[in-house]
Structure 1
Amino acid sequence: MELSEPYSSPAAVPPGLEYLTQIDQILIHQQIELLEAIIGYETNNQYEIKNSMGQKIYNAKEQNDCCTRNFCGPLRSFELKITDNFDQEVIHIIRPYRCASCCFPCCLQEMEVQAPPGNTVGYISQDWHMFKPKFSVLDMSKTKVLSIEGPVCAVSCCGDVDFEIHGKEGHSVGRISKQWSGMIKEGLTDSDNFGINFPMDLDVRMKAVLMGACFLIDYMFFEKKGNSG
């Protein structure tokens, strides 16, 4: 699949994403849910999205039902609502239910990103590989814009786990990092911290899609599987 140009476009910036034109890093912090931490009952994930100085720019909250969360576990379908500091929804993410097997190149993971809600700006599509996590970042016409590649062993153990973002020439242009949160937090909860680095002049639509990719990576590799059922 041919890569398209991912950098700044003359088209109007989707409302609510104007601030993304000024930054090259995003921090995503999942909120700790006490009920989930104490008894293992899976609740809707909630996140704070911040700039590099730790200032909150968005909130994100998962939307689905308790049966889906607790019986389908990390594979569950959901919609994710991202709101600004005025509680206006600026990004809407949709993840359908898909299988988790690496042995068959069918029904792989995918996600749709809308900004504003109802206006699709891109997709994340899992690429089949026996050993490595690989994804394609697609624009609204499903043309490949960027690719993401993770390590063979995507396990957070006393250190960060990096998923490299590659441009059209195959060189690294950024990364999505699962950040080590400390032994106690990592052991007792599935509340995770992530950082996303990308070029300052990357199209804001693709910055929004990379946020979606970060959430997909969280569910696929770092959401505790013990919560499913």
Structure 2
Amino acid sequence: MMQMKEYKEVPQDVPQDDTVVRQPTSADAVRIPSGPENWMSIPVGMPNCPQGLEYLTALDQLLVSQKIEKLELLTGFETKNRFKIKNSLGQNVYFAYEESDCCTQRGPFEMKILDNFQNEVLHLTRPFRCDLLCCFPDCLNAVEVSAPPGQVIGTVEQVCTFLRPKFNIKNSFGDTVLHIEGPICPCKCFSDTNFKVLSANNEEIGKISKQWSGLGRELFTDADYFSVTFPLNLDVRMKALIFAALFLIDVVYYEH
């Protein structure tokens, strides 16, 4: 469990060059944009909130854009995914990057979400899954979500269905607390695709939207735009799990 003393704070108004962040368990360095970009101020005085998730207490929407790498644009070779996460005012909230091998889309992946101070505040882990028997429990897609890293707050698990895509969101005790239901055709063109977030009694409380980004971008890159909405007063851990579900949906339906 991350201790308070390990959480770095860097003044937001100090210009910086691109900073290389090296995690102790990875041999790869990740370059994170910093400096003149406009970052959301962190809310203060939030009790019983995992450190780094304070931003979510003041938000009911997140906008996610996948960064297009020059290598992917010029050659079509897929690179490791990186995302910017902003609020509805266009302010940066988080930066996310994938640590998995870009050549194994159906294999395991690790996703790290960092805040403005370059601290990892959310960690997503998806184990290896097979493609042969997609309705066997061990073959379905799932991600385990930790906040802070090392402290599991819940999971997002795909449900075996032959019609609409479905996912269950479970808390740290394994109880299903929310559901996600997608359209019959999640890969339609020329319009946004919405996945409804439902409460335990099937009341719609939010949605995850894959936004149509134009024919050229859709055909020649894997760079996607998403938005996620949830109730402002929803528990911050549930907001984080809905946010995590966005990345699982991206991997399952749009990383091709």
By the TM > 0.5 criterion, same fold?
yes
SS at match of 1:212: helix
SS at match of 1:210: helix
By relative contact order (CA 8 Å, sep 6+), the higher-ranking structure is 1
The aligned runs of 1:105-184 (5 Å cut-off) are 105-106=136-137, 107-184=139-216
Distance 1:76 1:28 in 2: 23
Contact 1:145 1:167 in 2 (8 A): yes
Letter of the 1:207 counterpart:
K
Letter of the 2:129 counterpart:
R
After the TM superposition, which parts of structure 1 deviate over 6 Å for at least 4 consecutive aligned residues? none
Distance 1:11 1:125 in 2: 29
User: Which has more helix, going by share of residues?
Assistant: 1
Query: Percent identical across equivalent pairs?
Result: 45
1:106-143 superposed Cα distances (whole Å, 9 cap, x missing partner): 32111000000001011001111012210000001111
Asked if 1:81 is matched to 2:117, the reply is no
Letter of the 2:218 counterpart:
E
Deviation of residue 154 (structure 1)? 0.6
Give unmatched runs, 5+ long, in structure 1. 1-9, 225-229
Contact 2:198 2:205 in 1 (8 A): yes
Aligned equivalent of 1:56, options 92, 102, 107: 92
Partner of 1:218: 250
Letter of the 2:118 counterpart:
D
Asked if 1:98 is matched to 2:134, the reply is no
Give the 3 Å change call, closer, same or farther, for CA 188–104 of structure 1 in structure 2.
same
SS at match of 1:152: coil
Contact 1:76 1:97 in 2 (8 A): yes
Distance 2:196 2:125 in 1: 23
SS at match of 1:163: strand
Give the 3 Å change call, closer, same or farther, for CA 136–101 of structure 1 in structure 2.
farther
Distance 1:142 1:11 in 2: 24
Give the 3 Å change call, closer, same or farther, for CA 182–139 of structure 1 in structure 2.
same
Q: Which moved more, 1:79-88 or 1:105-114?
A: 105-114
TM-score by length of structure 2 reads 0.79
1:149-174 superposed Cα distances (whole Å, 9 cap, x missing partner): 00111114010000000002111111
Partner of 2:217: 185
Give unmatched runs, 5+ long, in structure 2. 1-45
Partner of 1:7: none
The aligned runs of 1:2-17 (5 Å cut-off) are 12-17=48-53
Contact 1:25 1:52 in 2 (8 A): yes
Give the 3 Å change call, closer, same or farther, for CA 103–81 of structure 1 in structure 2.
closer
1:65-114 superposed Cα distances (whole Å, 9 cap, x missing partner): 3xxx22x33x1311011000111111111011113467633321110000
The structure with more radius of gyration:
2
Distance 1:39 1:76 in 2: 23
1:154-208 superposed Cα distances (whole Å, 9 cap, x missing partner): 1140100000000021111110000111111112111000000111111111111
Give the 3 Å change call, closer, same or farther, for CA 164–101 of structure 1 in structure 2.
farther
Letter of the 1:157 counterpart:
C
Contact 1:156 1:180 in 2 (8 A): no
TM-score by length of structure 1 reads 0.87
